[in-house]
Amino acid sequence: MALLRRPLLLLLLIVTHQFLQFRIAFGSVNEEGQKQEEFYEELLLKPLPDRKLLTHFHFQSSAPPSTSNGRHHHLFPKAISQLVLKFQVKEMELSFTQGRWNYESWGGFDPIPSSNAKPPGVELWAVFDAPQHLIDALWKNLTHTLSGLFCASINFLESSTAYSAPEWSFPPASGKLRYGTLPREAVCTENLTPWLKLLPCRDKAGISMLLDRPSIYRGFYHSQRLHLTSTGSGSEGMDPGIILEQTLTVVLQPDSQRASLAHASEKHIQPSWSLSSIFGKQISGRCVLAETSSVYFLLDKGLVAELEHIHKENEKSEENVLISEKFWNNPSFELSAKPDRIFIEESSLLSKNASVLYKFEIEKYGESEPFDLGLFWKTPVVWLCQQAPLHANRFLMGSGNERGAIAISLKSTQSSEGFMGSNSNDERCELRVDVFQVVPWYVKVYFHSLQVFVDQQPKAVSDIIEKIHVSPSKDKVSPGVMELVLTLPCSVSSAVLTIEFDKGFLHIDEYPPDANQGFDIPSAIEKSPVMSYTEVLLVPLTTPDFSMPYNVITITCTVFALYFGSLLNALRRRVAEEERFLKDKAAKKMDRIPLLLSKLSAKLRGRHLEGPQAPPASSSFINSKSVLKVILIAGLAVYWQYYFS
């Protein structure tokens, strides 16, 4: 029996060892044989009308509810799970943005601008699953943790003057939501590196290999976002499941010699590009820990409509050449790789045309055959991206350092008809607009001065504003919050909201180092029905002259130095000793040769040589100086006369 048990024991150890290796390599497995932790990576490429290229990286990691996920992970970042458990975070989003999304040129209705376009600087909001009296303390601890995790100044949001608590206008609407922004926060590689460390393969394999720092940060727009959602466990004693989304949106300008050498008639031709020319790298295979790894190339509705119009004018073909057998090589453009699948959007209310999406699977590529997608344009193409119903802008009015006004302008983009249906001219057709605005405490807003203008005509506030929530600011305690729900007719062309404010005074310790630059008012948020951000306002406040203390200290120290120096010199000076010192010094300066000659003549004559007398020597010295001055002046006079004659 002992001989039979030993092989069984060895076989059991071998099977157990292989099973553990399988779990370590591919993640934990539940009773049904499904993977517990999953990771996906995607890249979307989209040409823009203004000769630029949109690159959108999307990474998703998920960890389902488990009793062990709180301590042991195979794919999911442990730092995020600890953050969720310790601070009871139900949902959170953190973004680092450099530049501002151009809604007019790059579109405002697509999912990317509506959910991934963020305001400049840092934006953080979080929903907590905790009692109301603990939320502020959890928020402060969360900001410090994120500040250390991403090497940023997020801890500045811990102050009650830097964050707010929206009630219902900011999505997701919740009474346990905290929202804060840092418009002046700079974005650099120190923020991107910790963000990449949350990926299973970091930037060593897969699509993340393209994240070249110089290529990313020389773009026109750069926004890295982290969004996590905590799902309920369903039972006690289990850690909640977490879904982590990491997105990086970059707008780049491709370098194309073909575009630069184009003729005047081809000034609208789009620049050709490839992944290697944009990022300087190629994709040498997928991340081995990723479930799927895909690259998408998108042609939006406006571009597809223009391409079809060009084909009909040239009478190339009556069929849709974008989905024909040679769709990667048609009269308008050429793709360097053959797509694996093609997706065509169904017709909607917004447009009769449909966008086309090409999908490329990265699994079949490797180091021997890397993936390098390229797009080569053949004909000039001009189109427009799909716009949101309203385009929002914000600006300041007034002058001086005492008072002013904030104006929010909403202009129609002639797209409200598609959102509301064909009866947009009906008087009963209405367009709902949500506005969310946070104002610092030193900008004292008078909410009773709110005015509404529709199509340049003043309207009653009660006729336009359906719902309003105002939280006045408190000096050095909390900012002011304004939440509005506007009801506008679908045929509206423009609407303007104005509100007056006074500028407050700060203590000298509250001024930043660059106070003369001005103070920022965070971006306002407008949703109708897609969400967009306005510009960041720069408000000049009354600022003291910080150089005056330095000037006063410098002048005071100089005066005291001159006074005490002169006084000390006068007190320590002795006139008799100075005269005696000068006489001795003059006697020593007498010529030694005449003295020796006088001594020699005195010995020859047998007479005693008397000591030198200082006054005659000094007088002779003075006479010699006078003679030299006279000679010098005479020489100058002669030279002057000779030069002008």
The pLDDT of residue 467: 92
Asked whether the predicted pLDDT for residue 263 surpasses 80, the reply is no
Q: Residues with Cβ < 8 Å from 331, sequence gap 6 or more?
A: 310, 311, 314, 316, 321, 378, 379
Where are the domains positioned within the chain?
A: 38-257+268-311+324-377, 391-415+429-508+516-546
| Nearest of 147, 48, 138, 151 to residue 102 by alpha carbon | 48
pLDDT tens per residue, range 376-428: 998 888 999 988 889 999 999 988 888 999 999 999 987 644 554 445 556 67
Q: What is the pLDDT of residue 172?
A: 78
The mean per-residue pLDDT over the stretch 191-201 comes to 95
CA distance 499 to 406: 5
Q: Which residue has the tokens 């992970």?
A: 73
pLDDT band at 257 (very low <50, low <70, confident <90, very high): very low
Q: What's the confidence (pLDDT) of residue 282?
A: 94
Q: Which of 461, 285, 457, 249 is nearest to 360 (CA)?
A: 285
Closest CA to 328 of 315, 341, 310, 344: 341
* 336 in Cβ contact with 372 (< 8 Å): yes
Q: DSSP letters along 478-500, please?
A: B-EEEEEEEEEETT--EEEEEEE
Q: Check whether 203 has a pLDDT greater than 80.
A: yes
Residues 214, 225: Cα–Cα separation, whole Å: 19
Please indicate whether residue 618 or residue 380 has the higher confidence score (pLDDT).
380
Give me the residue label for tokens 């963000």.
195
Residue 95: pLDDT above 70?
yes
135-150 and 78-87 helices, crossing angle to 10°? 160
Question: Looking at residue 327, what is its pLDDT?
Answer: 60
8 Å CB contact between 207 and 283: yes
* 619-632 pLDDT, tens digit each: 454 456 666 776 77
Q: Which residue has the tokens 């190629």?
A: 282
* In the predicted structure, residue 349 carries a pLDDT above the cut 50: no
Tokens of residue 250, six digits: 């970059």
**What would the two tokens of residue 399 be?**
């002058």
β-partners of residue 226 are 94, 246
Task: Give percent above pLDDT 70 in the chain.
Answer: 79
Q: What is the pLDDT of residue 619?
A: 47
Examine the pLDDT at 484 and tell me if it is beyond 50: yes
- 601 vs 562 pLDDT, higher one: 562
Residue 351, pLDDT above cutoff 90: no
Query: Residue 617: what pLDDT?
Result: 47
Return the structure tokens found at 199: 């990926």
Residue-wise pLDDT for 135-157, tens only, equals: 999 999 999 999 999 999 999 99
What pLDDT sits at residue 87? 95
* Reported CATH class of domain 391-415+429-508+516-546: mainly beta
Span 23-50, average pLDDT: 71
Q: Looking at residues 553-561, what average pLDDT do you find?
A: 89
| Residue 206, both tokens | 């897969």
pLDDT at 114: 86
Calpha distance 586→588 (Å, rounded): 5
- Taking the C-alpha atoms of residue 354 and residue 323, their distance in angstroms, rounded to an integer, is 12
pLDDT score of 579: 76
Q: What percent of the chain has pLDDT over 90?
A: 52
> Given the DSSP bridges, would you call strands 38-47 and 292-299 parallel, antiparallel or unpaired?
parallel
User: Above 70 in pLDDT, residue 333?
Assistant: yes
Q: pLDDT tens digits for 502-515?
A: 999 898 888 888 88
Mean pLDDT of the chain: 82
| Per-residue pLDDT at 297 exceeds 90 | yes
How far apart, in whole angstroms, are the C-alpha atoms of residue 352 and residue 153? Answer: 47
Q: Dig out the tokens for 57 from the structure.
A: 């990286």
In the beta sheet, which residues pair with residue 297? Answer: 45, 358
Burial class (CB in 10 A: 0-12, 13-18, 19+), 443: buried
What is residue 105's predicted lDDT score, i.e. its pLDDT? 92
Q: What is the pLDDT of residue 16?
A: 33
Instruction: Return the closest-CA partner of residue 337 out of 319, 320, 362.
Output: 362
Joined together, the tokens standing for residue 303 give 């571009």
Give the residue ranges of DSSP H helices in 485-613: 548-572, 575-588, 592-605
Task: Count the neighbouring beta carbons within 10 Å of the beta carbon of residue 428.
Answer: 7
Residue 156, helix vs strand vs coil = helix
Residue 558: φ, ψ to 5°? -65, -45
- Give the pLDDT score at 422: 43
Identity of the amino acid at 530: V
CA nearest neighbour of 164 among 513, 509, 524: 524
Q: What is the pLDDT of residue 341?
A: 92
Q: Which residues contact 574 (CB under 8 A, 6 or more apart)?
A: none
- Chain centroid, CA 625 distance in Å: 75
Per-residue pLDDT at 352: 63
Least confident of 8-17, 197-206, 272-281: 8-17
For 396, other C-beta atoms within 10 Å of its C-beta total: 15
Q: Is the peptide bond before 529 cis (omega within 30 degrees of 0)?
A: yes
What integer is the mean pLDDT of 344-372?
Answer: 82
Res. 470: pLDDT tops 80: yes
| DSSP reduced 3-state for 243 | strand
Lowest mean pLDDT among 196-205, 236-245, 360-369, 449-458: 236-245
Distance CA 48, CA 307 (A): 14
Residues 515, 539: Cα–Cα separation, whole Å: 11
Under DSSP, is residue 241 helix (H, G, I), strand (E, B) or coil?
strand
Alpha carbon of 469 to those of 167, 240, 297, 377, 483: distances in Å? Answer: 8, 34, 43, 51, 5
Give the range with max mean pLDDT: 39-53, 388-402, 427-441.
39-53
